[in-house]
Structure 1
Amino acid sequence: MRLLEVSGVSVTFDGFRAIDNLSLAVEDRGLRAVIGPNGAGKTTFMDIVTGKTRPDEGRVVWGEENANLLKLRESRIAQAGIGRKFQRPTVFEDQTVRENLAMSLKAPRGPFAVLFARRAEEGRIRGIADEVGLAGQLSRRSGELSHGQKQWLEIGMLLAQDPRLLLVDEPAAGMTPAEREHTTDLLRRLARDRAVVVVEHDMDFVRRLDCRVTVLHEGSVLAEGSLDFVTSNPDVIDVYLGR
């Protein structure tokens, strides 16, 4: 089932066409990598989906009810189930891992939910910490974590919001080989239950993800398919890989 559909979207900044009639669809679960040269429109694509940028034309449709994301504010889009992780981790460094995750949890609803919130919250926090590989770091101040651990914490903070779609920007940047391997396993595991879209420049990391790849160029889709398929495309070699 299609979870997100971007159709005929274009946007221009000061005469520069950053997105040009872009159309692509994301299924309700699974892993997708988006690659392309600088200026291809990768960041603008994420900005449009999350409501940060409004396109000049086109449609962005979300979920089973075909909700028009272009009519929603950024906060409402996040509440609808779209989480975005930027390249540089943004965690509260003076707070512990537990406190970061607790602040990110969805607020309980109803009197009975509030009554039992603390016990459920602690269980949820421990479950998320275990899922991202920080089960032994809950009491540690977040500023003391390694770069990779901060990345995992931010992913955990997004998971606390129960997103249906995760947009992840260059997760492998600055990581050690061991952290990159852990991140690969984490993203592939998360994609079993939700959609995960990874924007990445590191082709070795993309190959480890072993997923469908979309190549953007000049704001539109240049090629799509397996990594081997797109990297054998002469146009992709010319505009991206050959540089």
Structure 2
Amino acid sequence: MTLLEVDGISVSFDGFQAINGLSFAIGEPELRAVIGPNGAGKTTFMDIVTGKTRPDSGRVLWGETNRNILGQSESAIARLGIGRKFQKPTVFEDQTVRENLAMALKDRRGPFSVLFGLPADEGRLLDFAEEVGLAAQLDRLAGELSHGQKQWLEIGMLLAQEPRLLLVDEPAAGMTPAEREHTTDLLKRLARRHAVVVVEHDMDFVRRLDCRVTVLHEGRVLAEGSLDHVTQNQDVIDVYLGR
């Protein structure tokens, strides 16, 4: 089933055409990698899907009803089930892993529960911590974690919001080889029950994801298919691989 469909969106900033008639669709569950050179429109694409940027034209259709979600606020779109993880981890470093996850729980939004530390569902917290590989780190301050562990914590916080679609921006950046391997396995597991879009520059990391790849260039889809398929496309070779 198609979960998200971006239909013919275009947007320009001060005369620069950042997105140019872009169409894109992803099912649930599915893992998709989005690649492309700097300026291809990858970040703007995510900004539009999450409500940060309003396009000049086109539609963003969501869910079983194909509801056009353009014009809704970022918070409303997040509540629909669209979650985004930025490249730089944004965790609360002075709080423990457990406290970070507790603050992110979908049904624990009331200010009193956060301010006064009312009990959260410990079982759910443990599930999310185990999913991302931090079950043994629950009582550590987030600021003490390695870069890779902070990335996993942020993914755990995203999962605690129970999204159907996860947009993950350059998760492999700055990670050790072991952390990259763990992240690959994590994203592939998550894609068994979620739609997961991974924006990434590292081609070796994309190859390990072993998924369908969408190549963007000048705000439109240049090619789509397996990594081997798109890297043999002459247009992709010319504009992205530089050969």
Which residue matches 1:145?
145
Which residue matches 1:85?
85
Which residue matches 1:56?
56
Which residue matches 1:76?
76
Q: Which consecutive unaligned segments of at least 5 residues does structure 2 have? A: 110-117
Which residue matches 1:2?
2
Whole-angstrom distance in 2 between the partners of 1:143 and 1:118: 23
Report the number of matched residues: 235
Whole-angstrom distance in 2 between the partners of 1:15 and 1:183: 38
Q: CA 1:169/1:108 → structure 2, altered by over 3 Å: closer, same or farther?
A: closer
1:67 is aligned to 2:58: no
The Cα shift of 1:28 comes to 1.3
Q: Which runs of 4+ in 1 moved over 4 A?
A: none
The Cα shift of 1:71 comes to 2.6
DSSP-derived class of the 1:84 partner: strand
Which residue matches 1:47?
47
Give, as a single letter, the amino acid of the residue that structure 1 aligns with 2:27: E
Which residue matches 1:171?
171
DSSP-derived class of the 1:71 partner: coil
Q: CA 1:226/1:48 → structure 2, altered by over 3 Å: closer, same or farther?
A: same
Which residue matches 2:196?
196
Report the TM-score when normalising by structure 1.
0.95
Whole-angstrom distance in 1 between the partners of 2:106 and 2:45: 26
The Cα shift of 1:80 comes to 0.2
Which residue matches 1:187?
187
Whole-angstrom distance in 2 between the partners of 1:28 and 1:190: 11
CA RMSD of aligned residues (A): 1.2
Which residue matches 1:212?
212
Which residue matches 1:30?
30
Which residue matches 2:133?
133
Whole-angstrom distance in 2 between the partners of 1:9 and 1:152: 32
Which residue matches 2:226?
226
Identity of aligned residues (%): 79
Q: Which consecutive unaligned segments of at least 5 residues does structure 1 have? A: 110-116
